[in-house]
Amino acid sequence: MTDQAAGPRSSAFVASSSAFDIPSPGAGSTPVAYAEALGEAYLSFAKLKHRKTGGHYLTPASVARFMAACSTYSAPHLRVLDPGSGAGILTASVCEAVSRSEAVQRLHVDTYETDPLLSRLTHRVLDYSRDWLSHHGVALTFEVRNKDFVLDYAAAPLLEEAARGENGKELAPRADYDLVISNPPYFKIRKDDPRASARAAVVYGQPNIYALFMAISAELLSESGALVFIVPRSFASGPYFKRFRELFFRIVSPSAIHLFESRKEVFKGQTVLQENLIIKAQRCKGSGSGGGGDVLISHSRGAADIADSQRFLAGMDSVLDPASKNRELSIPLCESDLDLMRVIRSWPNSLHTLGLEISTGPVVPFRATRFLSSSKEEPSTVPLLWMQNVRPMRTDWPAQGTNKPQRIRVASESTKILVRDATYILLRRFSAKEEPRRLVAAPLCRGWLKADRVGLENHLNYIHGVSRPIDAELAYGLSALFNSTLLDRYFRISNGNTQVSATELRAMPLPDEKQIRSIGEAVQTRIDSENDLLGFIDSLVASVLDISPRLCVERGPAAA
């Protein structure tokens, strides 16, 4: 994963890299072993600041070999593209996989890399791979392109054509690569960045560069081609990538997904804390990803145990819900997850059908600095709630052990960012990376804070009544559901972000209102007497909803 022109290259680094002495391969080295050695030499040579600015996080050898093994090598002639090649380890892994095929006679590889030193390393790896493959009866040709991949294909507007065209229109490929394999750069670019402008059809808000790599790569596949990418899971859900998903899954259809459950153990030692996945997607033969076929899903904790990953088959309609307008990519990891999805997707309600809405807290601290107060005695102030005030089933105010101001001044200018005293369900918008649960909810009942207005900070979501007020029973019932392992598991199946967006909660199915109220009534009577409140909630949810208790427990150890 490397930057494609994230910013101006350091002239000092470029000058020093020209003097970098590229190590020679050891006796009997495989292409992957040589690429790995060159990558380690690069990491030692390049300053951390340069690597982080450019997104230089190189693929571990075990992951590279796993990605290459996702593809098949049965044609006599193959064309492969590696955009953002780094030190060339993914291309090297393809060369090793090809050497074990009896069918392949000729392999051509194109690579892109803007970092001048990494381009030199990729060239050296491919030089070595050419000689190595010749001993296995395979002829290798290649071209290393030291230029920006996204801008180089600015004039291949397949996704723009898809955005304008009819849903049923089959899209012709723009190139003929049999395989695109990549660990692209991960960083946000401005909407007015030339690369974002070149790919306006997939851009929403501040886009992430890796999605542009995926979009263009899908365009460049042959009619039977496949792409294999390791990327953050963030594209799989949420409003910012909705446009990308709609168009991307018109061109390709997922056939295999590998999920890394730990954020820390994929690019170990390279300060990457994303939740990552590997996706293999095949060129669609019709008008887009349909409901047929199976997807091979596997998972491991990190790179070290990827060879021992657990695998199972899930139906395409479980991974890409054909009824979903958002085209979210769900990733169930076992049969129990599929059972859980079937149960929840059968529920009849949503916040909308219950006459409720969810919004984001209107107090943005840096815009409201002059209204924030920590003084208990100051008149004309009302309570201000932050994420730190919300714990499972409990709204604590004032919060202890935090330096966040707990009050906000009431003035003519601040009234519009305050909400009236009413009954709400509060949910944290973010979870810490190390927290096992994504959903944390608590009721806030009318009159608790003894104020006619309340401030809700922007890192909170709050559910409020639209066509009806929320009463305490309903508030406790919904809060208990959102705190249940059942809904937390469902949310994690479809979402890899630490952010909990209002859009996703708005679309989440909910059970019959009578059942929600039964849960709320029972929780209210036990909330102060239960030592294990969340365990009680899980048992209660299973009982009231008449579902298997195994769906209301964690699938396995939580990822770190």
**How much is the pLDDT for 487?**
97
Q: Per the domain annotation, does 418 fall within a domain?
A: yes
Point out the domain boundary residue: 333, 365, 384: 333
Find the CATH number of the domain harbouring 154.
Answer: 3.40.50.150
Angle between helices 31-45 and 61-69 (to 10 degrees): 140
Are 277 and 410 contained in the same domain? no
Q: Which of 317, 229, 309 minimizes the C-alpha distance to 276?
A: 229
Q: In what order do the strands lie in the sheet with 424-428?
A: 356-360, 460-465, 424-428, 441-444
Are 292 and 363 contained in the same domain? no
Are 80 and 197 contained in the same domain? yes
Are 67 and 162 contained in the same domain? yes
Find the CATH number of the domain harbouring 435.
Answer: 3.90.220.10
d(CA 259, CA 277): 5
CB 358 within 8 A of CB 506: yes
- Domain count for the chain, please give it: 2
Beta carbons within 8 Å of 422's beta carbon, 6+ residues apart: 446, 464, 465, 469, 470
Are 392 and 500 contained in the same domain? yes
pLDDT tens track for 480-496: 999 999 999 999 998 87
pLDDT tens track for 252-267: 999 999 999 887 777 7
Are 213 and 295 contained in the same domain? yes
Are 196 and 126 contained in the same domain? yes
What phi, psi does 454 have (nearest 5°)? -140, 140
d(CA 172, CA 222): 9
**How much is the pLDDT for 497?**
75
Q: Per the domain annotation, does 198 fall within a domain?
A: yes
Are 179 and 252 contained in the same domain? yes
What is residue 135's DSSP assignment? T
> Which residue range forms the structural domain that includes residue 327?
52-333
d(CA 289, CA 272): 31
**How much is the pLDDT for 370?**
95
d(CA 91, CA 318): 32
Q: Per the domain annotation, does 343 fall within a domain?
A: no
Q: Per the domain annotation, does 13 fall within a domain?
A: no
d(CA 433, CA 498): 7
Point out the domain boundary residue: 271, 300, 333: 333
Are 325 and 368 contained in the same domain? no
Q: Which of 285, 158, 161 minimizes the C-alpha distance to 223?
A: 285
Partners of residue 349 on adjacent β-strands: 510
**How much is the pLDDT for 349?**
97
What is residue 446's DSSP assignment? T
Residues of the chain with pLDDT under 70: 1-19, 47-56, 155-175, 198-201, 203-206, 268-273, 286-291, 432-435, 556-560
Partners of residue 294 on adjacent β-strands: 315
Are 366 and 324 contained in the same domain? no
Q: Which of 483, 460, 486 minimizes the C-alpha distance to 358?
A: 460
d(CA 71, CA 181): 9
Give the number of other Cβ atoms within 10 Å of residue 84's Cβ.
25
- DSSP per position, 254-292: EEEEEEES-SSSSSTTTT----EEEEEEEEPSSSS--S-
**How much is the pLDDT for 560?**
38
What phi, psi does 353 have (nearest 5°)? -70, -20
CB 233 within 8 A of CB 144: no
Are 324 and 372 contained in the same domain? no
Are 292 and 381 contained in the same domain? no
Q: Which of 31, 214, 3, 267 minimizes the C-alpha distance to 116?
A: 3
Point out the domain boundary residue: 280, 299, 333: 333
Q: Per the domain annotation, does 326 fall within a domain?
A: yes
Q: Per the domain annotation, does 17 fall within a domain?
A: no
Q: Per the domain annotation, does 250 fall within a domain?
A: yes
Q: Per the domain annotation, does 218 fall within a domain?
A: yes
